[in-house]
Every structure is written in C-alpha cells, then in structure tokens.
C-alpha cells in the first residue's frame, strides 16, 4: 500500500528512505480526508438548494402565488361592494326617503367611525402586511356601513307601513271651498296689522268668506284644542294630525267639534266668523311642522291645478294688510 508510505532523503546515503507511518499519521490522514468530503458535500448541498427548488419549495411558491392572486381578487370585490353600497345609499336618500317625505340619513349615521386599539397590529411583520391591513380595514368599514344601511331600510319600511296614514294626515286642502272663497285676504310674510298699524310677520293665510261659511279639517287628525277668546285668535281650533303636523283655524263664528274628537280631511269643524282680533269675516289658517310654523300654501296638493297653485303662491307672497 504505497499510498500509505512516506519517504525522506538521506544525505549520507544519497537515497530516499521509506519511513513507516505512525498512528497519528493515520489519524491526521483520516481527519483530513473526511473533512474534505464533508466540505465538498456541504458545498454541493448549498449549491443544489440555491440552483434548484425542492418539491416542498415549489409547492409553497405556488401557494403563495395563489394567495397573492386571491388578495388582489378580494380587493377588487371589496371595491365593487363599496360601489354597490354607495349606490344603495344614494337611492335611499334620493328616492326612498324623498318619496316618504323624510330627511336623508345624516352622514354620521351612514359612516359611523371606530376608535380604540390598532385592529391590524397582529398583521405587522409580513411581506403583505400593508395590503392585508388595508383590506381588513375596508371590510370593517363596509360592515359598519351595512349595519347603518340596514337600520335605515328598517326606518324606510316603517315609513312605508304608515305611508297611507301619513298621506291622509298631511294638511293637503284649503280650509275653505274655492266656491265659497271671496278672496285670499293675506298670505305668509310681513304685513301691516289692521288694528295695531305696525308691520308684523303673518304666520299663516287669511281666507275671506261670508260669516257662517263651512270650515274643513285639512287632514285627518285629533282635535287637541277648542277655545274661545275675545282677543287674538277668537274662537279657534287646533288639530294634531300626527307625523309632526298640526293646523290652527281661527276667528270662527262657531266651533262644531270637541277636544279629543277624531276628524277626517274634509270634515266640517266650524263656521267662518269675525271673533277675536279681526276686522272682517275670515278664517286665519296656520300649519305647524315639527313645532315650527310653515307656509300653508306649500301644502295645497288636492284642491288646485298647477296654474292655480302658482297663482296662489304669488298672491300669498304679495305684501298687503292682513285681516288679523
């Protein structure tokens, strides 16, 4: 086994002499060769891993690619849901609530905020943290807005159920027949008071007619006040129609209903007179919405053609003296 031999040149004999191997020589030879094999093997493994993917790595890469595609699809789906939700909100405000005569849902109810701790903290530290966090926040926002929209639709459903009663309750006719009406003496706005001779705001409309002319309830409701006074409104009636509406009929010659009585639109409730602070037979008529006086001319839906309605509005806004 010559590969285990080692030689040394002997200057005295001028020849190479074979030296026997010792135990430590065998140990060193073994360590050196094993180390070389290990080094080559390790380098080969690293090179192979770098140049070639294992089946497990390839499967993982495919899964990551699939998940990234799903994230992009979810983002697209979420954007589409936001568009649909916004369309529902527009329909809710511009159509459904308008049909039922109610105000749009306030912004703070449509888009309720959320506070507190960072809800995406557990997502930090990953390659797709920003995308996933943004997606999660959008989904949470959609959930809140969907809850708000659902509650809004519940309100609209309640409005739909009471729509017929609401329509009957709106003061939608004149308190005096057009045939019995001499003229509309005074409308909504600043007027000169016939007695005090000062300019005052006239919160209603005066309909001039003969004493004893029938006065009609302008909407379904309940009589909540029947009163007689020698000043101010004189004999007058107040009807509560519900849904925020009330009407007042003043200066009556005679009242024909009692407090607590239920009345229907078009039912006779009294007769035209000249009682209280009044200078001529007429009925002073006021409309209240949610506790505030509003122009009664805006509610004559049933009695007038569009042309008559425009004429009435112009006359009601003309500045002249009132009857009370």
pLDDT (tens digit, 0 to 9) for every residue of the chain, 324 residues total?
Answer: 445 566 777 777 777 777 676 777 778 778 888 888 888 878 777 776 666 666 777 777 777 777 777 878 888 888 888 888 888 888 887 777 776 667 777 777 777 765 555 555 555 555 566 777 778 888 888 888 888 888 888 888 877 777 778 888 889 888 998 776 666 656 666 666 565 566 667 788 888 889 999 999 999 999 999 999 988 899 999 999 998 999 999 999 999 999 999 999 999 999 999 999 888 899 999 999 999 999 888 887 655 555 655 665 665 555 455 555
Does residue 183 sit in the same domain as residue 312? yes
**Residue 178's domain is classified under what CATH number?**
2.70.70.10
Does residue 149 share a domain with residue 76?
yes
Predicted confidence at residue 298, as pLDDT, reads 80
Q: Are residues 197 and 107 in the same domain?
A: no
pLDDT, position 292: 92
In this structure, are 129 and 184 located in the same domain?
no
Residue 324 belongs to a domain: no
pTM of the predicted protein model: 0.53
SS3 295: coil
Q: What is the CB neighbour count within 10 angstroms for residue 263? A: 21
Domain shared by 288 and 180, yes or no:
yes
Residue 81 lies in a domain: yes
| pLDDT value of position 261 | 96
Q: Tell me, yes or no, whether 13 and 90 share the same domain.
A: no
- Secondary structure of 47-83 in HEC code, one letter for each residue: HHHHHCCCHHHHHHHHHHHHHHHHHHHHHHHHHHHHH
Considering the domain boundaries, does residue 257 fall inside one?
Answer: yes
Q: What is the pLDDT of residue 1?
A: 43
Residue indicated by tokens 């007042």? 248
Instruction: Based on the fold, state whether residues 181 and 152 are members of the same structural domain.
Output: no
Q: Is 37 helix (H, G, I), strand (E, B) or coil?
A: helix
Q: What is the pLDDT of residue 238?
A: 97
List of residues 6+ apart from 107 with CB closer than 8 A: none
Same domain, 148 and 208: no
Instruction: Identify whether residues 21 and 71 lie together within a single domain.
Output: no
For residues 128 and 260, membership in a common domain is answered with: no
Q: How many domains does the chain have?
A: 3
Q: Is 322 among the domain residues?
A: no
pLDDT on residue 208:
87
Same domain, 242 and 202: yes
Q: Is the dihedral of CA 181, 178, 226, 250 positive or negative?
A: negative
Residue 166 lies in a domain: no
Indicate whether 243 belongs to any domain.
Answer: yes
The verdict on residue 89 lying in a domain is yes
Is residue 206 located within the same domain as residue 310?
yes
Whole-angstrom distance, CA of residue 63 vs CA of residue 69: 10
pLDDT tens sequence across 180-196: 666 665 666 666 656 55
**Which residue, 161, 183, 208, sits at the end of a domain?**
161
* pLDDT for 239: 97
pLDDT on residue 5:
61
The residue range of the domain holding 43 is 2-51
In a domain, 323, yes or no: no
Nearest to 208 by CA among 286, 287, 322: 322
């Amino acid at each position: 086994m010559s590969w285990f031999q080692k030689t040394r040149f002997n200057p005295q004999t001028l020849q190479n002499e074979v030296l026997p191997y010792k135990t430590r020589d065998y140990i060193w030879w073994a360590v050196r060769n094993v180390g070389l094999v290990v080094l080559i093997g390790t380098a080969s493994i690293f090179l192979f891993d770098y140049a070639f993917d294992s089946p497990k790595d390839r499967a993982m890469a495919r899964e990551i690619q699939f998940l990234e595609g799903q994230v992009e699809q979810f983002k697209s789906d979420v954007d589409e849901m936001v568009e649909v939700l916004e369309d529902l909100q527009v329909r809710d405000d511009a159509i459904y609530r308008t049909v039922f005569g109610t105000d749009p849902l306030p912004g703070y109810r449509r888009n309720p905020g959320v506070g507190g701790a960072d809800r995406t903290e557990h997502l930090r530290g990953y390659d797709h943290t920003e995308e996933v966090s943004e997606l999660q926040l959008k989904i949470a926002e959609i959930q809140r807005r969907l809850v708000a929209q659902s509650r809004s639709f519940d309100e609209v459903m309640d409005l739909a159920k009471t729509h017929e009663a609401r329509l009957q309750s709106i003061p939608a006719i004149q308190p005096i027949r057009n045939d019995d009406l001499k003229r509309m003496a005074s409308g909504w706005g600043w007027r000169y008071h016939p007695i005090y001779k000062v300019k005052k705001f006239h919160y209603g409309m005066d309909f001039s007619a003969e004493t004893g002319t029938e006065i009609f309830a302008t909407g379904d409701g309940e009589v909540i006040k029947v009163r007689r006074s020698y000043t101010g409104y004189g004999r007058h009636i107040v009807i509560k129609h519900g849904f925020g509406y009330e009407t007042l009929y003043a200066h009556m010659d005679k009242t024909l209903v009692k407090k607590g009585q239920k009345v229907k639109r078009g039912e006779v409730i009294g007769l035209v007179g000249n009682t209280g602070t009044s200078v001529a037979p007429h009925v002073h008529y006021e409309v209240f919405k949610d506790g505030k006086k509003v122009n009664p001319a805006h509610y004559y839906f049933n009695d007038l053609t569009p042309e008559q309605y425009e004429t009435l509005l112009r006359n009601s806004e003309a500045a002249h003296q009132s009857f009370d």
